Structure formats: structure tokens, C-alpha cells
Structure 1
Amino acid sequence: NCPESNKLLFHFHIFSKDGVFLQEIQGSLKQVQKLLSSHEASYMQSLRNLKKKINLLLSSAARQNTKAINSTCPKLESLINGRKLGKSHSIGHEVHFLCDPGYELVGSESRVCQESLTWSGQQPTCRDINECASSPCLNGGTCVDEVNQFSCVCAKGWAGVTCQTAAASTLPAATTGPYVRPSRCTIVQGTTHCTCEPGYTISGRDSYTCTDIDECELFHNGQAGRLCLHACVNTPGGYRCSCPAGYNVTRDGRSCKDIDECATRQNNCTKDQMCINTYGGFQCVRVDCPKIPNATYVKTSPMRCERNPCPVDNKACSQAPNSFSYHYLAVVSNLSAPRVMFRVSALRPIGDTLRFSLLGGRPVRRHFTVQRSDRLTGELMLASPVQGPATLEAEVEMSELERRVQLGKYITKVTMFVSQYEF
């Protein structure tokens, strides 16, 4: 960045080669030295100016930060029987106030933090609303103000929330009880009109007597469907749904949800048994490896038994199944069919052919069949719906072949527990 110094150095190189003008060279070097000193002084002055500016900025930021911290209004008190909305107390921010049901706000609904660090408006309060101000009690009734409500003390001969109905005459003992109630009667222009509580209806010509409506019978097969998934129990003025043992009523109060007795430890299975949850109950099962002549099996997992290696000359052992797998399914009654219940696949097949077959006689084939879904997978199909309760068993054999010679076979035993309910 110093073109003059470059020029001087260039001259110094030319003339020093001939050994002449030594005085001129010395003068040029001095000029270069002065120029460098001037640049150094200018650079140091720029650094000092930059340092001053940075210090000024830091001081200004510190003052602004201190001002921001101290520029807040005092904390406002919370309302009794109400609440305050807004947490910031900085300049320009608002705080709003709301009262609980049954109370009305007296004072400012909102207050703003001003530049003077004071709040605008007045501190509000919540005042109880006088529900008796509108004189809601009729026919000479006395109103009693309560929080967010009122009650009426009725004069003799009147009844109801606002003393709006004429009290019915006392009913005979035979017509009183939870399923029989007195009606509510109102006199309008000399005519008596009687009504019943929800869930009750006027019984016959006696307008002073209300009888319970049996919703379970009335809506048993309504257009909107049954009231309850399982059983409906009529109650005074209403109804409730119940579920069979092994189920809980769902949140909607109409359906049933299965209880998992295995997960909740509501079962009596022993340590050497496995708990299988079913719809409406549970089953305790124990897997024991089969005993087949000339072959021995060992349990490699809770649901699988594998054959020990066979001696070289023991053909009967080599023809026995290589493994037995046990699987348990829980289904509801009358499950729609046909449908796939289980799939059997070969992970690492050997040989050139896989064959799937269903073992057992007519009882098994009445409910099940086996089909292929692809080259390596066989499917156990439920052929027809099954009415529960019932327990069905099926065995699927998968054979590996090489040029029609059996290399190995594997048995999958599927046990299906069918509930007596369709849910």
C-alpha cells in the first residue's frame, strides 16, 4: 500500500548495481524510514480512537440496562374472589382483572404501567352479585342470596325452585317411592298445568302422579341402536349400563372394555404357567415339549421346542419335526370369516420347495384351511364364524424339500380362545 516506498526501493536496486549515487540512496532510505514512522503513528492513533468509541458504547449499554431493570411499576395485589392476567410490570404493559362466577368487578378492568412508574386507574375489587335483586321467588316466596346462586323459601301451598308450582296433595303410600314421584303443577290464568322431572311421565288420568320411564325397554331396539352394548339396568329417572365379569364400563357409560387380567395380575396362574389374556377372562397355559420316539426336544424359548441333533444313522430321528412352535390367539365370538388368523414363513429356506399343510381331521378342517400368500409364506385361514365360548386348535406343517426329498419340517400349533361375547 506504499507506492512511493516501492519506487525508492526500485531505484536503490538499479543504482547499487553500478556502485554510484550512494548519497542519493541514503536519502531515499531516510524518506522510506520517515514514511513508515508516519504510517505507524497514524495506525496507533486509529487504534486509540477505536478504543475510546468501544468504551463509550459499553458505558451507554450499561446505563440502558440499569434503566431497563429499574423501570418497572410496583407489583399489583391479586384479587380476592378473582384473578389477575398479565405478569409484566414494565412501562407500557397492561394487567387485566377478572372476577369468579357470582362476583362483579368494581374498578378498572385493566391497568397500564406508565412512564412515571405508576399504574393507571384504580385497584379493582370483586363484589358478590345479589341474585335476589331481580326478585326471582314467586307467590310470596322469600329469596336467600348465596354465592353464584339463590334459593327460595316458599310460602305454604307452593313448591319448586322459584315457588312456581302449586304443591300437590299428599300421595297414598302405595303410590310413592323412587319410581313414583309427585308432579310439578303451575296455575296459569286459572288452569293447572302439571309436568314431571326428566325420566318420569304423567301416569294415566292422574295428573298429580309421575311414574318412571323404563328407558331400557323403550329404547331396546331404537333407530340409534341399543342404549347399552351388553345389559341395561333401569333406575329411577334414568338407566345405567352394566358389563359381564371380565369387563369394565367405558367412559361413555355404554360400552364394555376387556380387563387384562395378565397385565393387572388378576389371575391365579402358577410360576410354571403362562397367562394368556382373553376377551372376558384369561387362560393359564404350560408349554411342554412333545415326546416322540427316537427324537428328543429341548425348550429354547417359552413358546418353542427344538429337536436335538440326530445320530448319523438314525433315520427315524431325522424324519421327526425339527421344531414345534406354540401360539395363542384371543378372538371374539362370531368373528367374520374368511380371514387370516396366522402366517408361517421361512426366514432362510433351504432346498428348492416349501410346502404348507394343515394337520388333523374333519373337526379342524371344518373351521380352518391353509393357503399360500407367496413363495415363502403360508396362511392359516378361519373358514367360518365360530360361536363362543370355544377353544380351537390347529397345526400347520411347513416342509422343506430338495427334489421332492424332505430336508426338514416344522410344526406350528395355534390355539384360539373364542369368547362367549361379540365384544
Structure 2
Amino acid sequence: MGRLVLSSLVLVACAITLASGFSVYLSSWSGWGFYKVKVTGPMTNVNVKSTCEAAGMQYPCFGRDGDFHDGIYWEPGCITYSADGISNHIQTILSAHLCVEYNPLICPALHDLFVVRPDLATDSAQGHDVVSNTGVQGSGVSDKYALCAKPSSCSSSPCLHGTCEDRVKHYSCGSNCPNGDHEPYYVCWCEPGWFGDTCQIDIDECQSSPCSQSATCVDHVNGYTCQCPPGFTGNSCETAINWCDPNPCPSGWTCVAPDLGAFHCQAPGGSRGYTGHFCAATSCGPDWSCREDGYSGYTCLRG
């Protein structure tokens, strides 16, 4: 109850300072920014429409195009928007955004806010009175608020590699602001690996020189690879390779790694059995070359 009273007080303050035609930003949904615009005169459909148009905006209907109320709660000229999975009615959707619950009758921000409703016999927009907790037909009341809409800041999909969030700046200038007391804008929440106002810049992960051993760094989106020199492996070439583990030499031979780019296979018993053609009978493997080392065996060289 305390939250409702506080919000109602804020609502009354807005009503005092908001002059005819001026608007207050409410929330964004389905590519539209929704605004509360002061109306002069009866809350008819015609007056709600003309108020929105005079403010440079468009207007929603009580229902949305595409639901089973087409031609009843919606008519050509009203904006179209997506349902949110629970409700097809924009005032109910906005209530969930502004007041958590899907009930405009208990949402102070929607008090005295009227939307075009073409199905009523009289030229009457549909509104809500939060104080009496009732729906209101606008033909019998005057000087309330119209629910108007214009494309949200995110409707143009400005974030190239990220998620767009609608926001609004508010000013404390009352009726002295020529364009209202708010300015919509957007914020881009960038995907990993991107930055910039519209997430348009690929972060160069190689800029910090992550590769050791003077390896070549190749930048990727949200990552990098290091082209390691012979003898090293790992994401940053941080691990020296032990070519003798496991032993690549023939069974019974001893493996010795004299440097990072080679290993020596030492024949058992020195010169015994030496034919002078160790390399012809033994493969060092792809990308390796073999060197005869006389009676001692042979050496495999990387590259």
C-alpha cells in the first residue's frame, strides 16, 4: 500500500507540471517508445489520435493487430506491436513493465491514461482510474492523458554486435522544455570481443602481446591464436615440448632431446649393427627431417 501511495503522489506532481501536448516517457516495447501526453478536451478517440499526431507521434489501439480482436479492438492507423506471451493489450503489457503486475487498474503510472478503442458505440477512448480501481470510458471525462508512441531508440537496431537497451534522460525544467522533459537514447551491451558506442569495433586481443617465445599472434573475435615456434605449444606458446615423451625411437633405443627443435635416437650398443642407413629404415614423422649420426644413431630435426 505504501508503494501505491508514493507512486500516486508522483503521478499528481506530473499532472501539475505537464502542460497540454507535453509528454512523459513510460517504457519501451516491441520497437516502440510509449509516452503519456496531456490532452485538452474530452477523451474521445478522435481527440486522443489528434493529440498524439500533434506531438509528432503515433497511437496504439486497445488491442494489437494480429490477435483475435482484429477489427474490434484494433483498426488501421494504430501501430502494431508484439504480444508478450501473456497479454495482447498494450496497457496491460505496460503495467507489467512499470508496476510488475499485469493489471493496469493498480498501476499508478497508467492512471487517467487513455488509448484508442474503436469498438465502443460512442467515440470513447479507454482509460483506467487507479484510485477507484475501475475502467473508464473517455467520452465522459476531459483533460486527461493520451497513450502515444514513436519508434524507440533501438528500433533501428543500432547495435551491430550487441543488445540494445532503450533509456531516457530526464530534465527538471517543467514546462520550460521546448521538446518535453526527456530525451530518449540507447545503450549497447556488446557481445564478448566487441566494443564501441554501437559495438562496431573488434577488440584486438593481440594488442597485449599474449604470445610468448616471440610467436606470431593472430587476432580473432573474442580470442586469438599463437603460431608457436618449433619446440613450444600451449595457448600462448608457454609450454616447451619434450620430444622424447613418449619415446619416438625404435624399441630399445634411447631418446635424447639436445634442443627444442630436435631429438636424437641413440642406437643400443653403439656401432653394433650399424649399416649406415638408419634414416632409410626409420621415419621421423611429418614435418621432420632425418640426419645420420654415424654409429651412434640418427637425429630428427623439426622442419
When the two structures are superposed, what TM-score results if normalisation uses the length of structure 2? Answer: 0.29
Structure with max Cα Rg: 1
More strand per residue: 1
Q: Larger relative CO (CA 8 A, sep 6+): 1 or 2? A: 2
When the two structures are superposed, what TM-score results if normalisation uses the length of structure 1? Answer: 0.22
